[in-house]
Structure 1
Amino acid sequence: MRIQASGAIASTPIDTLTEDELKFLDDVAVTDGAPEISGGLMAIATGEDTAHEAQTASSIWRLFDGEALIGFGIRALQGDRHAAEFLIAPDHRGQGLGERLLTTILDEEPEAWCWSHGDHPAAKHLAQKHGLGRDRVLYQMRTDSGLSLDALPETQTPDGVEIRSFAPGDEDGWLSVNNAAFDWHPEQGGQTRADIDAVVTAADFDPETFVIAARDGEVIGFHQTKITDTDDEGRLGEVYVVGVDPRIHAKGVGKALTVEGMRRMVAAGAETIELYVESDNAPALGLYERLGFHVAVAHVAYAPTSAEVTGTDSASTTTNEKE
């Protein structure tokens, strides 16, 4: 067995994944029921994320048995935290290889937060062995397939609130609401106007996919939706980010934003919709269950020993940070 490293750990750019290696990761995901490497880290590993710091400040490890790839790990900076994810081929588990790979990752960055996609008992055991604390549980929720407009409620707008598409001039309000709603969040919080402008000026930005809640001309909430064409599920919709300004008092804004976004995605051909939400967000969980969502996968973040393990307070927000 040998480990091959690239990126910051080796003072080189990362060696991006090949087609055969992507197939290896896909095969493991099929066996485990969920991808073990999340979208943001995959974008770095494939070279899709071309930011200089992503390619030179991240590290990747490949574990080989002879010439066969049997394990993969990645560590990257996300927001103000280092995130780490890794996997071992199913037919090579139970041999201490996960322990070896995790030790290697933590030797390079002891402050890394490690994710387990699926809340695996083996991951819990490894985390405890390394003194990592169970900090966050992020639920991936989905509707049943074959979703139709008839199955969804109509959008009910609270008195004095306007639900509409994004329009030029909403950028500063969007930024203010986002940073107020997600001040606790390591990735979604602390955004800048440049971050908002990058979304709005992207070639594929469609104002109809971004729902705004406004009162007296001021943005008080938003819902950013996404649609992806998949090979096995057709069009998949995502409640990507919902944020409501915690400084305002307007009951029903979050529900109106969520329902309106869902209706737009279904009208655009989405047959299934998914979202990610904190497991301790009881109000949001109740709303999503009433709208037909169920928990499909639990994603668990294990915190380094230096971190204060407190969970989150996310009662007014939903974010899909697995992208």
Structure 2
Amino acid sequence: MDPAEVADVSALARTAGDTDGADPFDESVLLRLRDPQAATVHLTARTAAGELVGYAHLDVTTPAEGIGLDLVVHPAHRRRGLGRSLAVAALTEADRAGTTLTGPDRDGAVPVGPAGTDADRDGAVVRSWAHGDHPAAAALAVDLGLTRARVLWQLRRPLTEPTAAPPLPDGVTLRAFRPGSDDDAWLALNARAFADHPEQGRWTVADLRARLAEPWFDPAGFLLAVQESTGRLLGFHWTKVHDRPGTHPVGEVYVLGVDPTAHGGGLGRALTAAGLTYLRRQRGLDRVMLYVDESNTAAVALYRRAGFAHWCAHVNYQRG
């Protein structure tokens, strides 16, 4: 997509997010929009006057493992069948991509055929997020044969009350992340900490550096727990601040991880408190959020003890 098209999609997403109370795309989709090398199929719906009113994003990086589908329709153009038309076209493209695409379409043109074009072969595995668990998204998923496969909770808590700060385990200190120096060690720790996570544990150098280049990145808010005697990384709390114009800023427990060998010593609780204290005292924020899988009962329990409560849910639907 050219910069003007990226700007159109970003504006559409903001409008939908403001209306729905939940943004339609997660961070990975927004990063891929700006990456010309990303293996992505873009489908757009425009009025006769050229206004963008619908957009579907297909992540075809690893078609054999599944194709990611994200979709948004302008609030003023809903209830007219546009969402369903985009979804059907996207699923058709997903089936085509599952057998023909191994990377981005270098010509930038992706023909969209009618539903049923690829009916003579098995459909590709498709995973699609419904941010905010919108009822219309749930109804569309059922209609198109997608099943509810995973639930991601957003939890929130105020930062106006003092945060209890349990001590770090003996021999462990905290310091800020050093871009360029800590990249490889952090990626290795992240892979160990999230070995069973379908997205986080697979981060690459490119994934990390894309986020380090984002305007929101603050190395002082990327806290590392280090073993004093060896310098080995044992855990981390990466914070983020959402400060979109016209909205109240909110902090985020962006990623919190502990090496499996350091579990059980209270490091997770200490890192959680350290990050919340940073967001309150250094960034002056009065609220914080985080995302956690509904099925991760240990993490949910940790965050509830830290004062977090359920805010909303994001549901992943799957076909195949």
Aligned partner of 1:289 among 293, 296, 304: 304
Residue 114 (structure 1) aligns with: 128
* Residue identity opposite 1:75 in structure 2: L
Q: Which residue of 2 aligns with 1:70?
A: 53
Q: TM-score, normalised by structure 1?
A: 0.75
Deviation at 1:238, TM superposition (A): 1.6
Give % identity. 35
1:270-285 map, 5 Å = 270-285=285-300
SS in structure 1 at match of 2:255:
strand
CA distance in 1, matches of 2:214, 2:87: 37
TM-score normalised by L of structure 2? 0.76
Q: State the superposition RMSD in angstroms.
A: 3.0
1:241, distance to aligned residue in structure 2 (A): 0.7
1:230-254 per-position Cα deviation (integer Å, ceiling 9, x unaligned): 3344543221111111234442111
Question: Take 1:100 and 1:242, find their aligned partners in 2: how far apart are those partners?
Answer: 39
What is the Cα deviation at residue 177 of structure 1?
A: 1.7
Distance change (3 Å), C-alpha of 1:302 and 1:205: closer
Residues 180 and 245 of structure 1 are in contact (CA less than 8 Å); yes or no, is this contact kept in structure 2?
Answer: yes
8 Å Cα contact 1:166-1:212 kept in structure 2 = yes
Mapped contact 1:117–1:299 kept (Cα < 8 A): yes
SS at match of 1:143: strand
Counterpart contact for 2:155–2:308, Cα < 8 Å? yes
Q: Is the partner of 2:295 in helix, strand or coil?
A: coil
The 1-side partners of 2:81 and 2:214 are apart by 45
Equivalent position to 2:69, from 73, 80, 84: 84
Counterpart mapping for 1:221-300 below 5 A: 221-268=235-282, 269-300=284-315
Q: Distance in 2 between matches of 1:272 and 1:14?
A: 33
Q: How does 1:9-24 map to 2 (within 5 A)?
A: 16-18=5-7, 22-24=10-12
Tell me the SS of whatever aligns to 1:220: strand
Contact 2:73 2:82 (C-alpha < 8 Å) held by counterparts: yes
Q: 1:130 to 1:284 in 2, by over 3 A?
A: same
8 Å Cα contact 1:153-1:259 kept in structure 2: yes
Instruction: For residue 81 of structure 1, report the CA deviation from its aligned partner.
Output: 4.5
3-state SS of the aligned residue for 1:151? Answer: coil
Shift of 1:200: 6.7
In the alignment, the residues of structure 2 paired with residue 211 and residue 121 of structure 1 have an alpha-carbon distance, to the nearest angstrom, of 38
Deviation at 1:76, TM superposition (A): 2.3
Partner of 1:26: 14
The 8 Å contact of residues 216 and 240 in structure 2, kept in 1 or not, is answered as no
Q: Alpha-carbon deviation of 1:175?
A: 2.4
Structure 2: where are the runs of 5+ without partners?
A: 95-123
Paired residue secondary structure (1:53): coil
Summarize the Cα distance change of 1:204–1:26 in structure 2 as closer, same or farther, 3 Å threshold. closer
Q: Displacement of 1:299 after TM fit?
A: 0.9
Alignment of 1:166 onto 2:177 = yes
The residue number in structure 2 matching 1:142 is: 156
CA contact (8 A) 2:175 2:225 kept: yes
Q: Displacement, 1:155?
A: 4.0
* Counterpart residue number, 1:303: 318
1:102, distance to aligned residue in structure 2 (A): 0.6
Q: Distance in 2 between matches of 1:187 and 1:304?
A: 18
Aligned to 1:309: none
Match of 2:220 among 208, 218, 242: 208
**Gaps (5+ residues) in structure 1?**
1-6, 8-12, 306-323
Does the 8 Å CA contact 2:216/2:241 hold for their aligned counterparts?
no
Residue 43 of structure 1: SS of its match in structure 2? helix
Question: When the two structures are aligned, how many residues end up with a matched partner?
Answer: 284
Change in CA separation of 1:121 and 1:191 when aligned onto 2, cut-off 3 Å: closer
Question: How many angstroms does 1:137 deviate by?
Answer: 0.9
Alpha-carbon distance in structure 1 between the residues aligned to 2:216 and 2:7? 27
